[in-house]
Amino acid sequence: MTGLTQQLIDLFAALLLLLAFAMLAQRRILSLIHLYTLQGAVLVAAAAVMGYATRQPHLYVSAGVTLALKVFLIPSLLHRVINRLNVRWDLEMLINVPTTLIAGIVLVIFAFYLAAPIAGLAASIARGTLGIALACILLSFMMMITRSKAVPQVIGFLAMENGLFFAATAATYGMPMVVELGIALDVLVGILILGVFMFQIREQFDSLDIRHLEKLKDD
Amino acid sequence: MSTLFFLLGLPLAGTVALALNGHRRFAPELNIAFSSGTFLAAAALTARVVAAGPLYAMEREFHIDALNVFLVALTAFVALTTAIFSRPYMRVKLEHGRMTPKRLRLYHSMYQLFSFTMLLALTTNNMGFLWVAMEAATLATVLLVSVYRTAASLEAAWKYFILCGVGIAQALFGTVLLYMAAERAGAGADGALLWTHLDAIKTSLDPRIMALAFAFLFVGYGTKVGLVPVHNWLPDAHAEGPTPVSAVLSGLLLNVALYAVLRCKVLTDGALGPGLAGQMMMAFGLLSVVVAAFFLSRQRDVKRMFAYSSIEHMGLATFAFGVGGPIATFAGLLHMTVHSLIKSALFFAVGHAAQHAGTQVMSEIRGLVRVNPTVGWGMMLGALAILGMPPFGVFASEFLILTTTMREQPWATPFLLVALGVAFAAVFKRVQPMVFGETELKPLPHPPALIPVFLHLGLGLMLGLYIPPYLEGWYREAARMVAG
C-alpha cells in the first residue's frame, strides 16, 4: 500500500516538473493556461493521495480548495481576460526556447543540490520530492524573466505559487489550515488585481507588452 | 484582548466604511477618525504592555512583547499623521483632476486596509500569518501606488507587484522550511508556527534546515525592506504613487518587513549560533548603504531621491542588526524609529512642495521659504535631520552604529563613512536651492497640513536629546530579545 502511494506521489511530482518545463517552452498563451490548469489538477491529485496515505483530513480540504481555485476559478478568470483582451498568441520570448530549456536543466540540478541535504530530514512520506518542488519554483521564476508579455508573466507567478504549495505538501503535509486559507485568499485577490491591471495597461499603452513598462530608469 | 480587538477591528471597519463612503466630502475626516481610533487603541495597548509585560490573545495566536509594541505604537501614530496630511493633499489633487471621487474611494479604503495588514503583521504570533499579512500589504499598496492610473504609475505598480510577489514567494518557501524544522524538533501541528513556541525550542531546530530557511526568508522579506540588489521596485513605487503613500511606504512598510527579518534572525541565531544570519544582514545592509548613497546623487526627482535615502537608512539599520550585540541592536531599533518619523515628515513637506511647483523635478522647485516658509523650513530641517545632523535622533543612532562598528567590525567603518558623506553632499546640494533661491511658485488653494511635519520633527529631535526611561527600557528589552 505505502509502496503504491509512494510511487504515485513520485509520479505526480515528476509530472509537475514535466509541466513546468512544458510551460517554459510554450509559446501560445491559451496552451499556457491549459498547462496551468493541468498543473493544478496534478496538485489536487497529489494532495488527495497524500491525505489518503497519511489519514490527515485537512489535506482533503486543501485539495478541495486547490481544485476550486486553481482548476476552475483562476483558469476561467484567465480565459475571460484573454478573450476580452483578445490576446491568444505570445510569439515573443526574450531568449530562444532551446537556450531556455538548457538553463532550466541547470536550475533543476541546482535545486536538487540545495534540497538534497535537508530533504532526508522531513518527516513526510514525500520527502524525496522537495527537490522537485524547489525546481518547479525556480523554473516558474525563470519563465517570468524570459517572457515579455503581461499574461505569461502572471501565469509564471501562479505556477510559482503551485510549486510552493507542492513544497509545503511534500515537506510537512501542508501548512496549518488557517494559514493555507489565508494564502489562497491572497493569491485570489492578487490575480484579480493583476487582471484589472492588464486592462489598465492595455488602455494606457494599446499593448500588453511589458517592455513598454521600462520608462522608469535612473539616469 | 479587547484593546487588541479595537486595534485590528477599527482599520478593518474603516476599510469597509470607506469603501462605501470614501468618495464623499467627509471621507478624509472619516479616514482621520478611524486612524485616531486605531492610534488610541495602540496607545492603550502600549500602556498595558508597559504596565503588565508581554501578553497573549486568542489562544496565543497574537502576541505583544517589547519588540513589537513600540512598532505598533509607531505604526498607528504615523498612519494617523499621514491621514491628517493626506486631507488637504488629496483635495488639491482632486481639483487638479488627478483624483476622481471613485479613485478617492479606492484610496481611502486601501489606506485603512494597509494599516490593518501592517498591524496584523506586527501583532500576529504565527509566522504563517505574518506572511499572509505581508502579502496582503503588498496587494493594498499596489492599488495605492497605481491610483493615478498614469503610464508611469502603472509601470511602478506592476514592477512593485511582480518583484515583491516573487520576493515574498521566497519567504513562503522559507516559512515552509521553518515549519518543517519545527515539526522535526517535535512541535505539535498547532503550535509549530507560533513564534513564541519556536523561540522556546529554537536550540533544537535543525541547523541545516534553518540555514536554508533563513536564506529564503531573508531574500523574501529583504525584498520588501528594499535591500540592494532587490530594491528596484522601491524608488518607482515611492516616486509615482501619491505622496501620503510614499510616506507610509517608507515610514511603515519597510519597518514592518525589517521586523519580520528580525523575528527570523532570532530563531536562526538560536539554531545555528550567531554567525550566518548576522553576516548576511551585514553584507546586504552595507551593500545597500553604499549603492543607495551613490544613486542618491544621480536623481532628479525629489521623491526618488528620498526613496534612495530610505534604502540607505534601512540598509544601515539592517547592518546594525547584523553586527549584533545589545548596543548595535539598540541603535538599529532607534534608527528604525527616527527614520520612520523623519522620513515621513520629509515626504509630507516634499508633497506640499511638489504641489506648489506642480512638478517633482528638483531643478524646477525653487525658493520654498519665500512662497511658504513653513514648508520650506520643514523640508530643510527634515533634510538636515535625515542626513544625521545633531541634535536630531538620526545622529544619535548613526553615532552609536558607527562607534560600535569601529569596535566590532572595523573593516566596515570606511565604507559607512564614505557612503554617509556622499549622501550628505548629494542631498544637501539638492535641497538647499529648493528651499532658498529665487521663486515664481504660487500658493496652494488649500492650506497645507503642517502640524504632522513639525510633530514628527519634534519627536525626532526629542529622541536625539532625551529618550524617556520607559522607551529606553523597551529598546533595551527588545535589543536583548533580538541580540540574545
A204:B300 CB<8 A: no
Mean pLDDT across chain A, nearest whole number? 85
Query: What is the interface size between A and B, counted as CB pairs within 8 Å?
Result: 133
The set of cell numbers assigned to B266 is 532570532
CA angle B169, B76, B258 (to 5 degrees): 35
Non-local (6+) Cβ contacts of B390 within 8 A are: B396, B464
How far away is chain A from the Cα of B450, in angstroms, using its nearest Cα?
A: 31
B94 touching A (Cβ < 8 Å): no
Chain B residues near residue A175 by CB distance under 8 angstroms: 128, 175-176, 179, 193
How far away is chain B from the Cα of A181, in angstroms, using its nearest Cα?
A: 9
Non-local (6+) Cβ contacts of B238 within 8 A are: B246, B249, B250, B303, B304, B306, B307, B310
User: Quick one: B22 exposed, middle or buried, by C-beta within 10 A (0-12, 13-18, 19+)?
Assistant: buried
pLDDT by 10s per residue, chain A, length 219: 568 888 888 899 999 999 999 999 888 888 999 999 999 999 999 999 988 888 888 889 889 999 999 999 999 999 988 888 877 666 667 778 888 899 999 999 999 998 888 877 766 676 678 889 999 999 998 888 888 788 888 899 999 999 999 988 888 777 888 788 888 888 888 888 888 888 888 888 777 777 777 777 655
B437-to-A61, B35, B371, B374 alpha-carbon distances in Å = 67, 38, 11, 15
CA angle B29, B35, B39 (to 5 degrees): 140
Among candidates B128, B136, B169 on the partner chain, residue whose Cβ is nearest the Cβ of A164: B169
Select from B97, B137, B146 the least CA-distant residue to A199. Answer: B146
B240 touching A (Cβ < 8 Å): yes
Non-local (6+) Cβ contacts of B183 within 8 A are: A123, A172, B189, B192
pTM value is 0.94
Q: How many angstroms separate the first and last alpha carbons of chain A?
A: 63
Q: How many residues are recorded in chain B?
A: 484
Assess contact for A169 and A46: CB atoms under 8 A.
Answer: yes
Half-sphere exposure of B452 (CA within 13 A, CB side): 31
Burial letters B436-448, b for 16+ CB under 10 A, else e: eeebebeebeeeb
Half-sphere exposure of B356 (CA within 13 A, CB side): 29
Among candidates B152, B183, B299 on the partner chain, residue whose Cβ is nearest the Cβ of A123: B183
How far away is chain B from the Cα of A89, in angstroms, using its nearest Cα?
A: 21
The set of cell numbers assigned to B259 is 521586523
DSSP string, A27-92: -BHHHHHHHHHHHHHHHHHHHHHHHHHHT-HHHHHHHHHHIIIIIIIHHHHHHHHHHHHT--B---
Non-local (6+) Cβ contacts of B279 within 8 A are: B322
The set of cell numbers assigned to B22 is 470614501
What are the residue ranges of helices labelled H in B273-372?
276-296, 302-323, 325-357, 368-371
What are the beta bridge partners of residue B301?
B361
Assess contact for A114 and A69: CB atoms under 8 A.
Answer: no
Residues 295-314 on B with a CB inside 8 Å of A are 295, 298-300, 304
Select from A177, A216, A212, A156 the least CA-distant residue to A56. Answer: A177
Rg (CA), chain A: 18
Task: Provide the pLDDT for residue A218.
Answer: 59
B132 touching A (Cβ < 8 Å): yes
Q: Which helix (H) or strand (E) holds A156?
A: helix A150-172
B442 touching A (Cβ < 8 Å): no
Select from B346, B379, B444, B447 the least CA-distant residue to B87. Answer: B447
Assess contact for B59 and B65: CB atoms under 8 A.
Answer: no
Collapsing DSSP to helix, strand or coil, B447 comes out as coil
Assess contact for B338 and B457: CB atoms under 8 A.
Answer: no
B239 touching A (Cβ < 8 Å): yes
Assess contact for B401 and B328: CB atoms under 8 A.
Answer: yes
Task: Provide the pLDDT for residue B278.
Answer: 94
User: For helices B151-184 and A130-146, what crossing angle results, to 10°?
Assistant: 170
Residue A8: Cβ within 10 Å count: 17
Burial letters B405-428, b for 16+ CB under 10 A, else e: beeebeebeebbeebbebbbebbe
Tell me how far apart the alpha carbons of residues B66 and B68 are, in angstroms, rounded to a whole number. Answer: 6
How far away is chain B from the Cα of A179, in angstroms, using its nearest Cα?
A: 6
Tell me how far apart the alpha carbons of residues B6 and B338 are, in angstroms, rounded to a whole number. Answer: 26
Residue A169: Cβ within 10 Å count: 28
Collapsing DSSP to helix, strand or coil, B31 comes out as helix
Collapsing DSSP to helix, strand or coil, B250 comes out as helix
Reported as a single tens digit per residue, the pLDDT across B430-453 is: 999 999 877 777 777 777 878 899
What are the φ and ψ backbone dihedral angles of A147, each rounded to 5 degrees?
-100, 145
pLDDT by 10s per residue, chain B, length 484: 688 999 999 999 999 999 999 888 899 999 999 999 999 999 999 999 888 888 888 888 899 988 899 899 999 999 999 999 999 999 999 988 889 999 999 999 999 999 999 999 999 999 999 999 999 999 999 999 999 988 889 989 998 998 998 888 899 999 999 998 888 887 766 678 899 999 999 999 999 999 999 999 999 999 999 998 899 999 999 999 999 999 999 999 999 999 999 999 999 999 998 889 999 999 999 999 999 999 998 899 999 999 999 999 999 999 999 998 899 999 999 999 999 999 999 999 999 999 888 889 998 888 888 888 888 999 999 999 999 998 899 999 999 999 999 999 999 999 999 999 999 999 999 999 999 877 777 777 777 878 899 999 999 999 999 988 888 888 898 899 888 7
User: For helices B325-357 and B373-386, what crossing angle results, to 10°?
Assistant: 150
- Tell me which residues of chain A have a C-beta less than 8 Å from any C-beta of chain B: 114, 117-118, 121-123, 134, 137, 141, 144, 150, 153, 157, 160-161, 164, 167-168, 171-172, 175-176, 178-179, 182-183, 185-186, 189-190, 193-194, 197, 200-201, 204-205, 210, 212-216, 218-219
What are the beta bridge partners of residue B63?
B56
Tell me how far apart the alpha carbons of residues B11 and B111 are, in angstroms, rounded to a whole number. Answer: 9
Q: Give ipTM to 2 decimals.
A: 0.92
Reported as a single tens digit per residue, the pLDDT across B254-274 is: 999 999 999 999 999 999 988
